[in-house]
Amino acid sequence: MAIYTRTFNQEDFSTPQKAADAVKRKALEMGADVVGIGNIERWAGAPIQMDPKQIMPECKSIIGMVFRVERGSLRGIEEGTFFSNYSAMGYGGITYLYMPMTVINLSKFIEDNGSEAIPMGHQSDWRGIDNEGFAGENYSRPVRKGQAMPDVMIQLRIAAYLCGLGEIGFSKMFLSPQFGPRCRVGIILTDLELEPDPIYGGPKLCNRCMACVRACPGHAFSTEKTVKVNLAGHEVEWSDLNMSACNTSFVGAKDSGVEQKDPYVPGVPTSVPGEWSPFYHKPRNLYNTGQAVCGARGCTRACMISLEARGVLQNTFRKKFRRRPEWRVDWNTPPEYSKGTVFRKREGDAVHAD
């Protein structure tokens, strides 16, 4: 028997147009839902800690891919009965399993044909800046004069915008015309010159309806203060997000202001469960970052409901998403367990709910 191997330099990458077509077709074949390309010039003026050329100085193109969050993965939280599915299948599982496999294999395809490619399936867990852009003190140091400190973090939502895949909404969520806010973004940096796609100029997605603001359990969105940036000659604006409030409500917690004997979040003495969490304590993370007990109540679910009602998304459904009144947990009253719920007594005897 002969050794079997991949083939090399078989694709026609002779022009940027042909190379882009081959790469896009392969991306969809490998599992991306949408794919677009931005030329590196669109990142001119990027902060040094977010500059792709700090990672790959010879980078010519960035390939952006949308991976949908399935609407059904939000169903269990919407009904209040199956919270882990969104954090696993709609969040951490996409970010740390499915998306990496796609960007790795697409990078292999590019490298099989003679160009270097860097797969990026998630934000860098080793990044040198926090989620508000500030460098970490005594964390890392540049290895050469004039270089960024490790690790550089490319802002994925901005990358998706610069690859022509959609908009950034008021909530700072990336919105695609196919799925609205139900998106995870993966990218590839390559020194292969690819024909770029235009910046998205289709039907307006975010109309500043403020559904995200009203529904966010952490009240994390400011309507008074915004962030404005210039991306490839386009002014883009979003709410100045209160990241602390977002991080707290994200895991189902709220700050009681009083030290608790048994806090909701270990190590956060004043934390208690919010009315958007049915859990007595924060559940463990799934796939590293999956801990979205809030179920993206404002930034994704409320936004998606608004976009679907306006009929602006390409991925349409026969039934509306919200079919029953929105639930809230009243932590000031004792729980009422349904008939058929069985608890185990410490001595081993079963006790049935009335």
| pLDDT recorded at residue 99 | 96
Report the DSSP pairing between strands 34-39 and 61-68.
antiparallel
| pLDDT recorded at residue 290 | 80
Which pair of tokens denotes residue 32? 């991306």
| pLDDT recorded at residue 348 | 57
| pLDDT recorded at residue 345 | 81
| pLDDT recorded at residue 131 | 80
Measured CA to CA in angstroms, residue 23 lies from 8, 39, 134, 221, 262 at distances of 15, 14, 35, 38, 53
User: Tokens 């203060």 sit at which residue?
Assistant: 225
| pLDDT recorded at residue 154 | 95
| Prediction pTM value | 0.95
| pLDDT recorded at residue 122 | 75
CB contact at 8 A, 338 and 352: no
| pLDDT recorded at residue 123 | 65
Q: DSSP string covering 219-277, please?
A: ----SS-EEEEEETTEEEEEE---HHHHHHHHTTEEE-SS--SS-SSTT-TTEEE-TT-
| pLDDT recorded at residue 352 | 61
| pLDDT recorded at residue 143 | 97
| pLDDT recorded at residue 133 | 87
Measured CA to CA in angstroms, residue 2 lies from 5, 112 at distances of 10, 20
Read off the amino acid at residue 141. Answer: R
Measured CA to CA in angstroms, residue 225 lies from 235, 296, 345 at distances of 16, 21, 53
Which stretches in the chain have pLDDT values below 50?
Answer: none
Read off the amino acid at residue 298. Answer: G
| pLDDT recorded at residue 347 | 67
Strands, E assignment, the chain:
34-39, 61-68, 117-120, 167-168, 174-175, 183-190, 226-231, 234-239, 253-255, 271-273, 342-344, 350-352
Q: Which residues partner with 16 through β-bridges?
A: none
What is the rounded distance in angstroms from the CA atom of residue 218 to the CA atom of residue 254? 8
What is the rounded distance in angstroms from the CA atom of residue 177 to the CA atom of residue 207? 13
| pLDDT recorded at residue 125 | 85
3-state secondary structure of 72: helix
CB atoms within 10 A of CB 335: 11
Q: Which residues partner with 344 through β-bridges?
A: 350
**Phi, psi (deg, nearest 5) at residue 114:** 95, 5
User: Tokens 């998304």 sit at which residue?
Assistant: 313
